[in-house]
Amino acid sequence: MGEMRKAIEDFQEAMKMLSRNNPETMRDFIKFMDSVLKEGYLDTKTKELIALGMAITARCKYCIGLHVEKAIKAGASKEEILEAATVAILMGGGPALTYIAEVKKALEEFG
């Protein structure tokens, strides 16, 4: 199993643990997350690229892997993903730049 897939699996296991402990809260959070990411005025690909940019600036390895994979599934090209990453670097500076290594890993694994 690849590193990014393992990171996503670890996150999903943590979500299951939280769901067992706080079922109503987690059910509501997942419902909110699904509602935000569905097609609306913005298409899914655009929303996933935004989420990826936010993940980079937040320096969240799990989120980067998840949103690179989802962006690819939504039709994003490697070039679009890297351009979104560049915008994240603009907004997040040097610390965000270091997380491009995680984007590279996810592209290699899911692309």
At 1 the pLDDT is 80
The CATH code of the domain that includes 81 is 1.20.1290.10
Query: Structural domain of residue 60, as residue ranges?
Result: 3-110
Please give the radius of gyration of the chain, using alpha carbons only, rounded to the nearest integer.
Answer: 14
At 8 the pLDDT is 86
Asked if 78 and 43 count as a contact pair (C-beta separation under 8 A), the reply is no
Tell me the pTM. 0.89
At 17 the pLDDT is 96
Per-residue CA distances from 13 to 7, 20, 48, 93 (Å): 10, 11, 22, 31
At 7 the pLDDT is 85
At 9 the pLDDT is 92
Q: How many domains does the chain have?
A: 1
At 91 the pLDDT is 96
At 25 the pLDDT is 96
At 100 the pLDDT is 94
Cβ-proximal residues to 16 (8 Å cutoff; 6+ apart), any chain: none
- Written in H, E and C, the secondary structure of 29-65 is HHHHHHHHHCCCCCCHHHHHHHHHHHHHHHCCHHHHH
pLDDT, averaged in runs of 10, over the chain (111 residues)? 88 93 95 94 98 97 94 98 97 94 95 87
Apex 7 CA angle, 78 and 93, nearest 5: 55
